[in-house]
């Protein structure tokens, strides 16, 4: 069976990525500040039977990066006269966190008591690729119409034995200025401040439910044509790769992360079975993904696990996948 005929017979329904990313000298996620010191985000995790504290980047921050890349892809398509499948609402176009809820026309529809939740979600999916792929809760008009995100991200957790966070003093030097800032808080004086920088190996997990892209959560029927769904699925996969290869977050203006490498596994599902994930905090995570996939696979076509040992290899796997992508009907 050729690759194209095999893809047609067994359309891709979802993908997951479990990876160890090697990052150096970054400060992508912070708790906040205390006086003149930035506080790095730390979380507690179970490791070797004990609860330990480690540096981490929140899933919220990673998903924000994913949405930014998806917006960039949609804007690029629109600028080239090819944006019909990747439309953006006015709020998402300018990066508003309120998304389609901020659109006056959509507000009028959502507040209309004659419109069902199914109608509202159909309109949402048709109007904006970000709201379709990344999800939105619509509560206008006292309704509860959730568009569940098709993309899910976990915390990017530093492996406790392979990550370190240092704190470094910086000086804002203003010749002739007093040593301390003025009482008005005008940020005109000379001052010292402390910033964190973290380096090490991080466990990254993400999954995208491709089969739900363009499908109404109430009726379970596609709200857009199949070709539009395919285009959106390809964009979601490309945005996911960009999220791994070009991480965004705090302090990138002076602490741009050094991405030194990536290794892990991609699981591709071609059935109703969800793609397999196993935490990269475990030493044998890729092997475990393969074992679980083999245990649940039926006929060798439902689940496949592909290992990669570099960012380039991950890109090749995902590019090959998008080349012949067909998404399953809802």
Confidence (pLDDT) at 48: 84
Is residue 268 in a domain? yes
pLDDT band at 1 (very low <50, low <70, confident <90, very high): very low
Whether residue 252 has pLDDT greater than 50: yes
Query: Which of the two residues, 186 and 91, has the higher pLDDT score?
Result: 91
Q: pLDDT, tens digit, for every residue of 214-248?
A: 999 999 999 999 999 999 999 999 999 999 998 88
Is residue 262 in a domain? yes
Is residue 50 in a domain? yes
- Rounded to 5 degrees, φ, ψ at 296 are -100, -15
pLDDT band at 178 (very low <50, low <70, confident <90, very high): low
Whether residue 297 has pLDDT greater than 60: yes
Whether residue 177 has pLDDT greater than 70: no
Is residue 183 in a domain? no
pLDDT, mean of residues 275-297:
94
Tell me the C-alpha distance between 292 and 272, whole Å: 15
Across all residues in the chain, what is the average pLDDT? 87
Q: Report the percentage of the chain scoring pLDDT > 70.
A: 86
Q: pLDDT, tens digit, for every residue of 102-140?
A: 999 999 999 988 999 999 999 999 999 999 999 999 998
Is residue 173 in a domain? no
Q: Looking at the chain, how many residues does it have?
A: 330
Query: Which of the two residues, 40 and 19, has the higher pLDDT score?
Result: 19
Is residue 240 in a domain? yes
Confidence (pLDDT) at 30: 75
Number of domains the chain is built from = 1
Confidence (pLDDT) at 192: 75
Q: CB-based burial of residue 272 (10 Å sphere; 0-12 exposed, 13-18 middle, 19+ buried)?
A: exposed
Q: CB-based burial of residue 283 (10 Å sphere; 0-12 exposed, 13-18 middle, 19+ buried)?
A: exposed
Range of the domain at 315: 3-82+149-160+198-323
Q: pLDDT, tens digit, for every residue of 263-283?
A: 999 999 988 899 999 999 999
Is residue 38 in a domain? yes
What the block records as the tokens of 191 is 């001052």
pLDDT, mean of residues 186-215:
85
SS3 for 260-313 is EEEEEEEEEECCCCCCCCCCCCCCCHHHHHHHHHHHHCCCCCCEEEEEECCHHH
Confidence (pLDDT) at 235: 95
Q: pLDDT, tens digit, for every residue of 25-84?
A: 888 887 766 777 677 888 999 988 899 999 999 999 999 999 999 999 999 998 888 889
Is residue 87 in a domain? no
Helices (H), the chain: 3-9, 59-79, 90-93, 104-111, 117-127, 129-134, 226-245, 285-296, 311-323
Predicted structure pTM score: 0.88
Confidence (pLDDT) at 323: 64
Whether residue 259 has pLDDT greater than 70: yes
């Amino acid at each position: 069976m050729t690759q194209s005929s095999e893809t047609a017979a067994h359309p891709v329904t979802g993908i997951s990525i479990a990876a160890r990313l090697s990052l150096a000298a970054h400060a992508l996620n912070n708790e906040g500040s205390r006086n003149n010191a930035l506080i790095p985000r730390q979380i507690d995790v179970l490791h070797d039977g004990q609860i330990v504290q480690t540096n981490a980047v929140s899933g919220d921050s990673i998903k924000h990066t994913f949405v930014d890349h998806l917006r960039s892809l949609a804007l690029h398509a629109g600028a080239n006269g090819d944006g019909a499948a990747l439309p953006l609402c006015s709020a998402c176009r300018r990066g508003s966190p309120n998304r389609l809820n901020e659109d006056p026309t959509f507000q009028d529809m959502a507040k209309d008591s004659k419109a069902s939740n199914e109608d509202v979600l159909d309109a949402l999916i048709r109007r904006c690729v970000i709201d379709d792929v990344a999800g939105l809760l619509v509560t206008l008009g006292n309704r509860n119409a959730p568009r569940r995100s098709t993309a899910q991200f976990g915390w990017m957790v530093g492996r406790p034995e392979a990550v370190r966070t240092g704190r470094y003093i910086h000086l804002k030097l203003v010749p002739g200025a007093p040593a301390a800032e003025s009482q008005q808080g005008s940020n005109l004086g000379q001052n010292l401040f402390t910033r964190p920088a973290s380096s090490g190996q991080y466990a990254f997990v993400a999954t995208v439910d491709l089969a739900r892209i363009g499908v109404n959560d109430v009726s379970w029927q596609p709200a857009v044509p199949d070709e539009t769904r395919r285009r959106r699925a390809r964009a979601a996969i490309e945005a996911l790769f960009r999220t791994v290869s070009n991480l965004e977050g705090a302090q990138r203006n002076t602490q741009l992360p050094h991405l030194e490498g990536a290794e892990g596994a991609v699981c591709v599902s071609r059935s109703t079975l969800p793609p397999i994930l196993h935490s990269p905090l475990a030493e044998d995570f890729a092997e475990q993904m393969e074992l679980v996939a083999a245990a649940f696979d039926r006929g060798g076509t439902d689940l496949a696990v592909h290992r990669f040992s570099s960012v380039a290899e991950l890109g090749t796997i995902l590019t090959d996948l998008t080349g012949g992508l067909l998404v399953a009907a809802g």
